[in-house]
Structure 1
Amino acid sequence: MNQITNQDVKNKEGNMSFAMIQAKWHGDIVGNCTAAFIAEINKQTDGMSNVDVFDVPGALEIPLIAKKLARTGKYSAVVATALIVDGGIYRHDFVSHAVIDGVMQVQLDTGIPVLSAILTPHHFHNSDEHHSFFSEHFKTKGQEAADACISITKLHEKLTLIE
């Protein structure tokens, strides 16, 4: 097992460092999460934290990349964002379960938090209405993911001190 302490996840200036993995499928929507995440991290840390962004083709590629990034010891947390749509077939259920189970296993195996900003809406249609709604919703998810990253990193720092 590759356990990493929070002492290992500070960058050379002593600031937090995060990895964001974004699926390029529906990238025009998903990218809003990444942009909002980076903006909120910069706001909450006065620009003193680092966010590295990694593009993957689709959601199924997220768990393996998350595992590789978590094992580097460079990141306080890893965040994954994707839009897994129900295109009228049940395949999205399998994809959703595989991805979420995969990222959960990564954090259990590595001790590095892996947060999900992966949305799996039912009956998504590539209409203007859905595109606008989910574009805005991903902005909210990015801000929430940033809040969660800061919170979980602080909790891990406290737990490291009492170990």
Structure 2
Amino acid sequence: MTLSLSVAFLKAGWHADIVDQSLVGFEDGMRASGVDLNLTVVDVPGAFELPLQAKRAAATGRFDAVVAAALVVDGGIYRHEFVAQAVVDGLMRVQLETDVPVFSVSLTPHHFQETDEHVAFFSAHFVKKGMEAAKAVRDIAELNPIAR
């Protein structure tokens, strides 16, 4: 029997060229596992907007899972740490309040610079993280089919 899942994939617009690679990895991972995927992709301005949009997606009752992706970088001030913590905390609250699993593909590297080397490294890393999110979504869906 083929697993059929409806997933909302939210991705932040900051560093979209890198963050978008998580969607590539997620779709590849789902396709490779044979999941019948109904995917809704939502672009949001930045990482800070992810929890609210995750909550709105979960509240529709249309999705088996929500995946949120962002790259929060150190711009030379401490704000990135607060943003990253707020995003992760917010996403956790969403899944606990809505009973819809929420997965984070949100990374906060210590030293990111927009060099070709860093862009290439993090782009490849986001593909890998997207594939890991696909596996986690499948695993949770299979773990508790009664809740679906």
In the alignment, what sits opposite 1:69? 57
User: Quick check: 1:90 aligned with 2:78?
Assistant: yes
1:154 Cα deviation from its structure 2 partner: 1.1
Q: Structure 2 unaligned segments of length 5 or more: list them.
A: none
In terms of Rg, which structure is larger?
Answer: 1
1:15 Cα deviation from its structure 2 partner: 2.0
In the alignment, what sits opposite 1:10? none
Alignment: residue pair count: 146
State the TM-score, normalizing by the size of structure 1: 0.86
1:36 Cα deviation from its structure 2 partner: 1.2
Code of the residue aligned with 2:72 in structure 1: it is: I
Deviations 1:20-46 (A, max 9, x none): 000010000000001110121122125
The root-mean-square deviation of aligned C-alpha atoms, in Å, is 1.4
Which of 93, 118, 122 matches 1:130?
A: 118
> What secondary structure, in the 3-state scheme, does the structure 1 residue paired with 2:114 have?
coil
Which of 9, 12, 36 matches 2:25?
A: 36
In the alignment, what sits opposite 1:139? 127
Structure with greater proportional strand content: 2
Which of 48, 51, 54 matches 2:39?
A: 51
In the alignment, what sits opposite 1:17? 6
Give the conservation status (yes or no) of the 8 Å contact 1:76–1:112. yes
> Whole-Å Cα distance in 1 between the matches of residues 102 and 47 of structure 2?
14
1:51 Cα deviation from its structure 2 partner: 1.2
> What secondary structure, in the 3-state scheme, does the structure 2 residue paired with 1:112 have?
coil
1:67 Cα deviation from its structure 2 partner: 0.2
In the alignment, what sits opposite 1:112? 100
> Whole-Å Cα distance in 2 between the matches of residues 71 and 42 of structure 1?
26
State the TM-score, normalizing by the size of structure 2: 0.94
> What secondary structure, in the 3-state scheme, does the structure 2 residue paired with 1:52 have?
strand
In percent, how many aligned pairs have the same letter? 51
Q: Which stretches of structure 1, 4 residues or longer, exceed 3 Å deviation after superposition?
A: none
Give the conservation status (yes or no) of the 8 Å contact 1:106–1:114. yes
